[in-house]
Amino acid sequence: MMDRLASFGNDPSDKPPCRGCSSNLVEPYIKCAECGPSSFLLCLQCFTRGFEYKKHESDHKYEIMTSDFPVLEPGWTAQEEIALLEAVMDCGFGNWQDVAYQMRTKSKEECEGHYMKNFINNPLFSSTLLSLRQMEEARTADSHSFQTH
Ligand SMILES: [Zn+2]
Ligand SMILES: [Zn+2]
Q: How far is the CA of 34 from the centre of ligand 2 (A)?
A: 5
Residue 6 resides in a domain: no
| Dist CA 14 CA 89 (whole Å) | 29
Residue 93 resides in a domain: yes
User: What integer is the mean pLDDT of 57-76?
Assistant: 73
Q: Which ligand is nearest to the CA of 33?
A: 2
- Whether 86 and 53 share a structural domain: no
Give all strands of the β-sheet with 29-32 in edge-to-edge order: 41-42, 29-32, 62-65
The 10 Å Cβ neighbour count of residue 27 is 14
Q: Which ligand is nearest to the CA of 52?
A: 2
Q: Which of 44, 65, 86 is the last residue of a domain?
A: 65
Residue 21 resides in a domain: no
Q: Give the model confidence (pLDDT) of 77-99 as tens digits.
A: 767 777 888 898 889 889 999 99
- Whether 99 and 130 share a structural domain: yes
Q: How far is the CA of 6 from the centre of ligand 2 (A)?
A: 37
Q: What is the extent of the structural domain holding 100?
A: 78-141
**Within 13 Å, how many C-alpha atoms sit on residue 100's CB side?**
13
Residue 10 resides in a domain: no
| Dist CA 108 CA 99 (whole Å) | 7
Q: How far is the CA of 1 from the centre of ligand 1 (A)?
A: 40
Residue 129 resides in a domain: yes
State pTM to two decimals.
Answer: 0.42
Q: Give the model confidence (pLDDT) of 21-34 as tens digits.
A: 999 988 778 889 99
Number of domains in the chain: 2
Residue 54 resides in a domain: yes
| Dist CA 98 CA 95 (whole Å) | 6
The protein residues having their C-beta less than 5 angstroms from ligand 2 (an ion) are 32, 34-35, 56, 60
Q: How far is the CA of 149 from the centre of ligand 1 (A)?
A: 31
